[in-house]
Amino acid sequence: MKRIIVIAGIFTFFGITGFSQQKKLKDLIGRWEIVGEQSMQASLDVIDSSTIVLVYMGETKKLVDYKFNFDKSPIWFDFSTEDSASSVSVKSLLEIINDNMIKWQLFVDEGRPDYFSSTKGDLFYLRKVKLNTNAGVVIN
């Protein structure tokens, strides 16, 4: 009897840890707009695994050389943006709060801590934009 309880406990443990959900890039696909900073006109558009676009103050920048580390908690997200004159490298931390909200802290020209910091970087909350699914096509 004791052996059955131990075996059942092992299966339960592996069942819980084996099926726990880890966040992936597919959880970030969509348009994310910064909450509360209307004048910034900023968003992060994760189109697919090869295209991510940052819109900031009306300028659109395609992210290049980006890397997500979903094994870290919070997620490490490093990227670069380029224009004709320069390249900017950014290190950041990202936490998926729920399906519609992420917490994102950016570190430009400074080291990234292991966790969110109240003394470094710029912290933003982004809300996922819901697409209008009522739009239809009329064919005459």
Domains, the chain, with CATH or none: 26-128 (2.40.128)
Residue 13 three-state SS: helix
State pLDDT tens for residues 43-102.
899 998 889 998 888 888 999 889 999 999 999 999 998 877 888 899 999 999 999 999
pLDDT in tens, 2-15: 555 445 444 444 44
Please name the residue ranges forming H helices in the chain: 2-18
- Tokens 């570190």 correspond to 107
Cis peptide before 113 (omega within 30 of 0): no
Is 52 within 8 Å of 76 (Cβ atoms)?
no
Q: What is the pTM of this model?
A: 0.74
21-30 pLDDT, tens digit per residue, is 477 888 899 9
- Cα of first residue to Cα of last residue in the chain, in angstroms, is 73
